[in-house]
Amino acid sequence: MKPLTVLFLSSSFKGDVLLRTVKELGCRVILLTEEALQNEPWPREAIDQFMTTPDLRRYQDVINTVTYMCRGWEINHILPLDEFEVELVAMLREHLRLPGMGVTAIRNFRDKLVMREKAQNAGIHVPEFTQVLNYDRLRQYMDTVPAPWVLKPRTEAGSMGISKPENSEQVWRTLDQLGDRQSYYLLERFVPGDVYHVDSLTVNRRVVFASVQKYGKPPLQVYSGGGVFSSRILPRESLESRELVRLNEKVIVDTLGMTNGVTHAEFIRAHENGEFYFLEVAARVGGAFIADMLEQATGFNPWREWGRLEVAMLRNEAYEPPQIRDEYGGLLVTLARQAVPDLSAYNAPEVAWKADKPHHAVVVLRSPDAGRIEALLNEYTERFVADFSTSAPPMDASRTGQSG
């Protein structure tokens, strides 16, 4: 039997575990990435065909490239490694008539305006929001919903491109700068609170794995002001965890229609009333080494299991999740002023893994005791700031998912 061929697209260096997994399962692997990334340490031994293009944002050029590839390769499936290729891959699937989520379905997990509208209609708490489109409606919103607000790109990843206007004048000035791009944004009420994320794998509309984590500083605060990004797995029997597991499934399966795949969802618990609000969800593996933390603590690597699931579906086989370890994990990441930060002093028995990435200090913790993880994160965060932390200007919100 001829092996299946899976094409991966990515505008960022990531997903090596997924590439290796699919290759180990007997598939042929093609990677299409950008020319600027060709010298990254991709797992070449797991890639049968390595191809580059100048810019994956040029959708029509990419479609032309992939359809030309199909003259010599019978491609059975296409997967994105990065957030910015999720919609492009959906377009390619529809054009080539391949399995997987199409454009309409994937926008539920890509367009922040769409997911908010659907969640609100399903009775799920979301911060009050409005589409940036009609100016009369925008004025009415700002007159009735108190500032500060958050101005968000509808299709960016994480905290990219987000600003926090304190008054209507700041909103109008920003919209003037955006010009014709402003309809790709939404405005919502800023809700002070603690931010959580739930990382999941769904199989046949059933969530077979869900892990609930709580960030240290909110990601937007780290993204815009620098410092240490941290996250930790919450006690699984806590009220927070149980509520978020329930709410996560209501969002991704019942409301947004996830059938098979990975998701990374974020929620905020408001300081004002203790209620959980849905913020956003993406049909991808969580970034910032979250997968490494999950693997060290539970034995479940979302990249690997996503690959196993996709190949099983292509072969019409049943997917069986791995045995999950009942331990806890923590994660610290900071942009380091040293090219090769010295992490040797971070040597507690709970230190399970350290990343080898230039100008980044990354430590993953593992323990059967959730309280020990929390205490060690608090200690290490202060030390990270003194030993390593620096900052860089936030990236421009240039990847909008549009052709051009």
* pLDDT at 397 (0 to 100): 47
Whole-prediction pTM: 0.92
Q: Is the confidence at residue 359, as pLDDT, over 70?
A: yes
Q: Is the confidence at residue 224, as pLDDT, over 60?
A: no
Distance (Å, whole) CA 329 – CA 235? 10
The mean pLDDT value for 263-267 works out to 97
Confidence category of residue 160, pLDDT binned at 50, 70, 90: confident
* pLDDT at 391 (0 to 100): 74
Q: Is the confidence at residue 217, as pLDDT, over 90?
A: no
| DSSP helix, strand, coil percent of the chain (3-state; round to 5) | 35, 25, 40
Confidence category of residue 227, pLDDT binned at 50, 70, 90: confident
Q: Is the confidence at residue 399, as pLDDT, over 90?
A: no
What is the chain's mean pLDDT, rounded? 93
Q: Is the confidence at residue 49, as pLDDT, over 90?
A: yes
**CB proximity list for 251: less than 8 A, separation 6 or greater:** 119, 124, 265, 278, 281
The mean pLDDT value for 83-88 works out to 93
Q: From residue 108, how far is each of 11, 105, 119, 157, 201 by CA, in Å?
A: 21, 6, 10, 14, 17
